[in-house]
């Protein structure tokens, strides 16, 4: 074991020392930093400039039972979260989410977030899919919002407050490894992380008592996605490669209203303000599927209904491969005031005038319900119950399971604020008494090998082509509808692409902002995570939430009312098909709501 001084450079590797290191500068990471920063020496590491993080793309709102517009309470919110997640939600976590939502909104308001207001000055609220009053009797206005730029406003507000608190940011540093050492009790705990500086190509080791992962999702395993190009699941992939489990990876949400052919998101806020989904015949088809809340049914239900309309020949357009989102009946003043970005996207990317024309839409890969398993204190778990001391996760990369098998709209911005705050507080409390952990000899060795092997790759396979074939196969075989046959096909595609990945070509051999090298490394994480998604989906022989198995079309509470836990048990680059992934189950926490039929 070797001790490295803070700020030293040894064999070209830079060493830093912080009590708490947060990986990711989106909403969850910065919310954690605001809690941790005033209490402990804290650093936030991000491969993007913080205000470019994907939280900024969230449009519609953040749920909280404020009851500013109509009667509401946190218990109804809890019920909607559990029912919307098709009863795979851990109900203790859902109660925390709904109870602490109100303080989370007021925290942001006090930080300066400019929410839309009612005429009497209260925070305004709008309807959103799956949110109801009195346990499902009618839609309720629960989403607090800032036009259709809520995520953008949250990101800017959090960053301004991080600056106020003097948080240390390391921007455009790409974390590629988590350094783990023995905890003295047969387990492991973190000693820090290793990052690659994009501007110079230098490697940096950040020694820490506690590490928080807040790295977002991995939507780029799909071709048609609302996710930014950078959402390649790096944090989830790093944890996976360290031998820690991933939970409920088969559940990937497809948002109903992506721009047809592009996947760019049109927020559910449009339907919250009264937009209507119509088929080629002009019919408001959701009235047939969800007669009570119609177009504001949970996202998994709406996405499947859209896909069925298209399958049954009622799709619109020259190829009958999309449906319409119609806001032509809304007052243009309301549209301009509450949905400015949505309408501009339709004009810019499709050349459609939403005042007078319906907008072509199709489901788009949007959100990972699964990820790094945590408890309600945001502590990472090494199995169903064992905490990894000093390691935390929050936001989309984590699975505390408040979303179960289908996340309700506006619960994601809530999740990052509630559990980001909890992660920051938990880490700050932990480091008060935790001792410094010595780094192993040459902690950067693994990253140095990874980077140099990729940089020196001189094969014949193009990174972009492998990525495209992966994404197209995932779109074709593991999207809204799945079967054993389709999942087997994409499994074989992934195994083939893994072999081809060994023979990639990285043309840029430079060190400064080498995006060719960056995409080669990201592709490795995408292959890992796509494989876990597919194996988990093959193993769940039922339909629940966002996981629709056409060969097992009903929900099976007897055998599958439990979380999937996936473990890496071998080298995926050398193992035969399947023998490097072990699957197990974890009980769902049920407190007050027993599974029932999802009627809307």
- Binding positions for substrate are 255, 267, 366, 407
Annotated binding-site ranges: 24-29, 46-61, 234, 255, 267, 366, 396, 407, 412-413
| Residues contacting 220, CB < 8 A, separation 6+ | 227, 229, 231, 232, 233, 467, 471, 522, 526
Question: Is the Cβ–Cβ distance between 436 and 1 less than 8 Å?
Answer: no
Return the closest-CA partner of residue 451 out of 520, 554, 355.
Answer: 520
Please report, in range form, the residues annotated as the binding site for FAD.
24-29, 46-61, 234, 396, 412-413
Q: CA of 417: how far to CAs of 45, 268, 335, 430, in Å?
A: 18, 20, 28, 20
**CA torsion angle 228 229 230 232 (round to 10):** 100
Q: With helix as H, strand as E and coil as C, how does 522-550 read? A: HHHHHHHHHHHHHHHHHHCCCCECCEEEC
In the annotation, is 299 catalytic?
yes
Six token digits for residue 85? 């997640």
What is the C-alpha separation between 473 and 368, in angstroms, rounded?
Answer: 18
Query: Residues 31, 127, 278, 299: which is the catalytic one?
Result: 299
Q: What does the H/E/C string look like for 402-415?
A: CCCCCCCCCHHHHH
Q: Which sign, positive or negative, has the C-alpha torsion 366, 370, 374, 376?
A: positive
Spatial separation of the C-alpha atoms in residues 213 and 235, rounded to whole Å:
6
- The widest CA-to-CA distance across the chain, in whole angstroms, is 71
> Which residues, 6+ apart, have CB-to-CB distance to 311 below 8 Å?
none
CA Rg value for the chain: 23
d(CA 195, CA 74): 41
Strand order in the sheet with 138-144: 62-63, 138-144, 125-133
- Positive or negative CA dihedral for 65, 66, 68, 72? positive
Question: Cα dist. 258→172, 395, 503 in Å?
Answer: 29, 22, 35
Q: CB 448: neighbour CB atoms within 10 A?
A: 18
- As annotated, the active-site residues are 299
């Amino acid at each position: 074991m070797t001790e490295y001084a803070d700020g030293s450079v040894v064999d070209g590797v830079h060493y830093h020392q912080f009590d708490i290191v947060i990986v990711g500068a989106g909403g969850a990471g910065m919310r954690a930093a605001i809690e941790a920063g005033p209490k402990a020496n804290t650093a936030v590491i991000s491969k993007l400039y913080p205000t470019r993080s994907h939280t900024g793309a969230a449009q519609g709102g953040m749920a909280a039972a404020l009851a500013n517009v109509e009667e509401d309470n946190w218990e109804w919110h809890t019920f909607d979260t559990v029912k919307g997640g098709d009863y795979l939600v851990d109900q203790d976590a859902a109660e925390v989410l709904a109870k602490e939502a109100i303080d989370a909104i007021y925290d942001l308001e006090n930080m300066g977030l400019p929410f839309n207001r009612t005429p009497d000055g209260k925070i305004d609220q709008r309807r959103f899919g799956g949110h109801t009053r009195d346990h499902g009797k009618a839609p309720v206005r629960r989403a607090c919002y800032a036009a259709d730029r809520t995520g953008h406003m949250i990101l800017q507000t959090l960053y301004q407050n991080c600056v106020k608190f003097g948080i240390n940011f390391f921007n455009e540093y790409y974390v590629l490894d988590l350094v783990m050492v023995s905890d003295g009790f047969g387990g492991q705990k973190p000693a820090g992380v290793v990052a690659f500086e994009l501007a110079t190509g230098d490697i940096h080791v950040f020694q820490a008592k506690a590490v928080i992962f807040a790295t977002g999702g991995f939507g780029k395993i799909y071709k048609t996605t609302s996710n930014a190009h950078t959402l390649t699941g790096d944090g989830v992939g790093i944890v996976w490669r360290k031998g820690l489990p991933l939970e409920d990876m088969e559940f990937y949400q497809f948002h109903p209203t992506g721009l047809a052919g592009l996947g760019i998101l049109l927020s559910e806020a449009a339907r919250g303000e009264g937009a209507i989904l119509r088929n080629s015949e002009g019919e408001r088809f959701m009235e047939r599927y969800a007669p009570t809340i119609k177009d504001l049914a949970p996202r998994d239900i709406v996405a499947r209904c859209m896909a069925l309309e298209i399958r049954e020949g009622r799709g619109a357009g020259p190829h009958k491969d999309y449906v319409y989102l119609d806001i032509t009946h809304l007052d243009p003043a309301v549209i301009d005031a509450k949905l400015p970005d949505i309408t501009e996207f339709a004009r810019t990317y499709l050349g459609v005038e939403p005042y007078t024309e319906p907008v072509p839409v199709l489901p788009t890969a949007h959100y990972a319900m699964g990820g790094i398993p945590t408890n309600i204190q945001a502590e990472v778990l090494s199995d169903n119950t064992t905490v990894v001391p000093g390691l935390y996760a929050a936001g989309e990369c984590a699975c505390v399971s408040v979303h179960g098998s289908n996340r309700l709209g506006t619960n994601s911005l809530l999740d990052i604020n509630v559990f980001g705050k909890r992660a920051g507080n938990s880490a700050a409390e932990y480091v008060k008494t935790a001792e410094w952990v010595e780094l192993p000899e040459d902690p950067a060795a693994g990253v140095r090998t990874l980077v140099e092997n990729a940089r020196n790759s001189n094969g014949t396979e193009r990174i972009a082509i492998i990525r495209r074939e992966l994404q197209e196969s995932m779109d074709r075989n593991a999207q809204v509808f799945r079967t054993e046959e389709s999942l087997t096909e994409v499994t074989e595609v992934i195994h083939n692409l893994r072999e081809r990945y060994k023979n990639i070509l990285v043309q840029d051999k430079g060190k400064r902002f080498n995006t060719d090298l960056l995409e080669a490394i990201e592709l490795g994480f995408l292959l890992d995570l796509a494989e876990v998604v597919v194996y988990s989906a093959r193993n769940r022989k039922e339909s629940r939430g966002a996981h629709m198995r056409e060969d097992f079309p009903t929900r099976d509470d007897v055998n599958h009312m439990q979380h999937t836990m996936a473990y890496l048990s071998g080298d995926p680059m050398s193992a035969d098909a399947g023998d490097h992934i072990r699957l197990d189950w974890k009980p769902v926490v049920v407190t007050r709501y027993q599974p029932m039929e999802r009627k809307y």
